[in-house]
């Protein structure tokens, strides 16, 4: 579904991503793990069209999308949930969700998507008219994911969805990611919580200093001694 080939991304003179290659098949959950500064967020932002690569190709459903720009990439079926959620404060839960469907012009379709979201995230229905800024961290993460799903993506990019959440919410967020996937959305996941990420991933790539250092199935990497030492707390 998505092939990233020899991708390099710079910030000025800083070479944040160096000749990274990986692929995601339709229906998979694929994770990128690695410590702070490894280049994970940069890769995600480049796929979504927020950053321009220096070199390399990003092929999505057979088309090179590296110059398509963010709105077109959303329209083509890739939605990103940014690190830190970036929900719209001062807007209600419902308004935040409607923003996620900004490219859909058909009102009946937006309503149908909203109904589907409320079925999947009943807590958001309970909070429908509440200012999004007053939601708890876990609820804000759900809202950010639900907002991305309003665009009906084929591929969802999740940047650190468990960051700053309590263990109960972390479990809930990972359950939701699996459900989203089971219902047909392919997932690219970035996580500091490598253990959790690997446990739900079909495959994963380990990044360090902007490079892919290792790859394997979630199970293989969970059992790998080097990965355990570096990313799974021993
Ligand atoms: P984290 O989990 O901390 O977000 P990451 O793996 O997502 O880490 P990136 O955020 O992609 O890593 O950062 C990769 C490298 O690029 C780091 O060295 C970082 O300092 C640098 N970097 C990121 N954003 C910028 C920027 N806007 N300007 C300059 N350098 C940047």
How would DSSP label each residue in 153-215? -SEEEEESTTTT--HHHHHHHHHHHHHHHHTT-EEEEEES-HHHHHHH-SEEEEEETTEEEEE
84 lines ligand 1 (CB under 6 A): no
Q: HSE (CB half, 13 Å, CA atoms) of 84?
A: 4
Quick check: CB of 184 below 6 Å from ligand 1?
no
42 lines ligand 1 (CB under 6 A): yes
Q: What is the CATH number of the domain that holds 218?
A: 3.40.50.300
Nearest CA to ligand 1 atom 14: 39
Q: Is residue 121 part of a domain?
A: no
Q: Judge whether 95 lies within some domain.
A: no
Complex prediction ipTM: 0.93
Number of domains, the chain: 1
Is the CB–ligand 1 distance for residue 34 below 6 Å?
Answer: yes
Q: What is the residue range of 27's domain?
A: 2-85+146-231
**52 within some domain:** yes
What confidence category does residue 234 fall into, taking pLDDT thresholds of 50, 70 and 90? low
Residue whose CA is at the smallest distance from ligand 1 atom 30: 11
Question: For residue 80, how many other CB atoms are within 10 A of its CB?
Answer: 24
- Whether residue 93 lies inside any domain: the answer is no
Determine the 3-state secondary structure of 170 from DSSP.
Answer: helix
Q: What is the pLDDT of residue 192?
A: 87
Encode pLDDT of 76-94 as tens digits. 999 999 888 788 999 999 9
The whole-angstrom separation of Cα 9 and Cα 18 is: 7
Q: Is residue 13 part of a domain?
A: yes
Ligand 1 centroid distance, CA of 111 (Å): 38
Give the model confidence (pLDDT) of 26-77 as tens digits: 999 999 999 889 999 999 999 999 999 999 999 999 999 999 999 999 999 9
Q: Measure 114 CA to ligand 1 centroid, in angstroms.
A: 34
Asked whether residue 12 carries a pLDDT value surpassing 70, the answer given is: yes
Flag whether 181 is in a domain: yes
Whether the predicted pLDDT of 233 surpasses 80? no
Q: Tokens 């650190």 belong to which residue?
A: 160
> What is the percent of the chain with per-residue pLDDT over 70, rounded to a whole number?
100
């Amino acid at each position: 579904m998505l092939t990233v080939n020899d991708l390099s991304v710079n910030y000025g003179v800083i070479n944040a991503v160096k000749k990274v290659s990986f692929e995601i098949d339709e229906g998979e959950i694929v994770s990128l793990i690695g410590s702070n500064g490894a280049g994970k967020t940069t890769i995600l932002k480049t796929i979504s069209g927020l950053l321009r690569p220096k070199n390399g190709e990003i092929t999505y459903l057979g088309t090179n999308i590296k110059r398509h720009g963010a709105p077109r990439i959303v329209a083509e079926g890739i939605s990103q949930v940014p690190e830190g959620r970036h929900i719209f404060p001062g807007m209600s839960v419902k308004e935040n969700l409607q923003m996620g469907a900004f490219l859909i012009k058909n009102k009946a379709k937006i309503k149908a998507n909203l109904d589907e979201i409320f079925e999947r995230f009943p807590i958001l229905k309970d909070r429908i008219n509440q200012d999004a800024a007053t939601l708890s961290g876990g609820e804000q993460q759900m809202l950010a994911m639900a907002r991305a799903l309003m665009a009906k993506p084929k591929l969802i990019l999740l940047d650190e969805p468990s960051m700053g959440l309590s263990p109960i919410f972390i479990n809930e967020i990972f359950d939701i990611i699996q459900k989203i996937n089971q219902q047909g959305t392919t997932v690219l996941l970035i996580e500091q919580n490598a253990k959790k990420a690997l446990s739900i991933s079909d495959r994963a790539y380990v990044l360090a200093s902007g490079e892919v250092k290792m790859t394997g199935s979630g199970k293989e990497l969970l059992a790998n001694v080097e990965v355990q030492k570096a990313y799974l707390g021993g």
